[in-house]
Every structure is written in C-alpha cells, then in structure tokens.
Structure 1
C-alpha cells in the first residue's frame, strides 16, 4: 500500500521550510519500518522506489512546482528510473534522503536521489526521468520553468546523465519481442 500517512507527514514537515531552487537539494529523514522489508529483513527494492516519493514530492512542493501543477492543471509522471543499490537498509534503520533536480532537456526533468545511512554510507542512488503533462501530452520543461518564475535554461547536463539517456534510448521498445 502507498505510504499516504508518511507522505502527509513529509509534506507537513516541509510546510514552513524555506523555498528552494529546483536544482537545490531537499534533505529529509526517514526510517525503514517492518512493512518496508522483504524476506531478507531489509528495505525491499520496490519499496525503495515508493519511499523516494517522500523526497521528490516535498522537493517539488518547496521548489514551487506543486503550485504550478495545480494552477495549470498539469500532471507529473515518472518516465524512467535507474537505481544503483550498494548498502542494505535494515529494519528500524534511520536514513537521510537527498533529492534534487539535476537538469532537463526538451522533454524531461532529470532528478537524482539517494538514501544515506547514519554511518555515512550511501545505500542507493536513483536517477529519474520525469515529465510534466497536460491534456495534449508533455509540457516542455522550459515552459514549466517559466511558469515557476525560474530560468528556462537548464543547468549543464552532467556527462553521466547524458550517457544514461543515450543508453536508455538504445534499449529495444517494445521489450521482449523475440
């Protein structure tokens, strides 16, 4: 089940935080609860993706994106993700989540997030491709940035993000066709 109560809590905790730039880092604290684990008694990989929402949505709220989405009746969708898992997060372990927008191109925003354990070890790192949509399809990131009162020009795209986009574009679609 989606962690609605945790999301409400995350948004409540950010209600009085200073606004931030979309490319600034939103930092939040979380805990791995028994309902987040798999049979190996660690944070389930699928649940990791769900918990990352607890960083992305408050980031969008603090950056002013949520208000722009509501005003324009736009939606927000994830269009891809790559996750690198490196350390286990065990039951009841607390961790810090860091979330920020890295850059954008003509169609998508690219967001990175990581979970950092209290010993400083990075447990995982995710790169997301996100799209803002309306009835006609994808709303350009430049248009979204303008609606947010932000610079319409993306920060420089890091090489590792460009290579991920290129690698992802080379994947066959539809998959498993043969």
Structure 2
C-alpha cells in the first residue's frame, strides 16, 4: 500500500515514455524518498523489492504488455526472489532501476533487476514471476502467443533452475505444513 500512489503515477508516466520491446531492458530513474528509508537512513532491505516492482511495471507498460495482460485478465505475481547488496542507497540519492527479462520456463518469467548509481551496481535481484488468470497460472504457450517468442540467444542460466528447485514451496493446491523439526 505504501507505493500505491507511486505505482499509479508510474503507470501513467511510463505510458508517455519511449516504447520498448518486451525483451529489451528498461531503465527507470528515481530518487530515494523519505518513505523508502529505515532508521539507519538508507533504503530498507525489504523496500528494494517494492521499488523493483516499479521497474517491472515500467517495462510492462512501455512494451505494451501491461495493456494486453489487463485485457486478458492476467495478473503478475512474484513466485520467488533473491537479492544481493553492495552499497546502500541514501536519502535523496538519484539512482536507476535497470530491468530485463532473462528468460522463461514452464513455471515462471524471470527478471534481473539492478539498482544503479552513476554506472555502478548497488544491488541486484532475480525475480521469478507468474501470470495468473482466475486463480490459475497462464501457460508458457499463452505467454509466447501474446508476447512473442523470446530471442533465440535468451537462455536462463543453469543456476536459476537450481535456485527455483531448491527454493520452491509446494503449489497452492498442495499442503505445506509448518514444522520446524
């Protein structure tokens, strides 16, 4: 909820920016706001993922897939995320969120996102997303039919498959009991 207004503003302003292909990288310039920081006066670790949502929305809007997804009743949801930090983003600092799709498989669309200041990576994340419609996943075939096939040289790194396998929880229709033992 804390980024709702910024997200709505971004959906409007991104539609006015230059168009992109869905397989092209997006760059979104922002500034660290007081609502982005924690008591240590830098961007809170959890806030990075929320800010990165803005980068993915920018790519989806500018490539035209956001409009097509909404028309089909598809909603994006995060299925898995991992992040590494190098440096802290400070209050009022200018930075960009660099976003690109690095591939897809039968389970997800994978994004790489970077927080960049003056050409230097401050943080990098990999996000696995699903598209759902009426509570069910959209198939890879439907995604390719709607968005076009990925470039021939776009191949997911092997570690992504391993990460997803090691990190995945059972599907929502299966039991996932909590037990620390």
The gaps in structure 2 that reach 5 residues or longer are 171-175
Does structure 1 retain, via aligned residues, the 8 Å contact 2:23–2:150?
A: no
Matched ranges for 1:2-151 at <5 A: 2-118=2-118, 120-135=119-134, 137-148=136-147, 150-151=148-149
Q: Shift of residue 112 of structure 1?
A: 0.9
Measured in 2, the distance between the counterparts of 1:125 and 1:61 equals 22
Q: Shift of residue 153 of structure 1?
A: 7.7
Change (3 A) 1:60 1:176: farther
Change (3 A) 1:9 1:157: same
The gaps in structure 1 that reach 5 residues or longer are none
Does structure 2 retain, via aligned residues, the 8 Å contact 1:109–1:130?
A: yes
Q: TM-score, normalised by structure 1?
A: 0.87
Q: Deviations over 1:42-99 (max 9, x none)?
A: 1001111111111111111122221222111121111110011111111111101101
Tell me the secondary structure at the aligned position of residue 35 of structure 1. helix
Backbone CA RMSD of aligned residues: 2.3
Q: How many residues align?
A: 175
Q: TM-score, normalised by structure 2?
A: 0.85
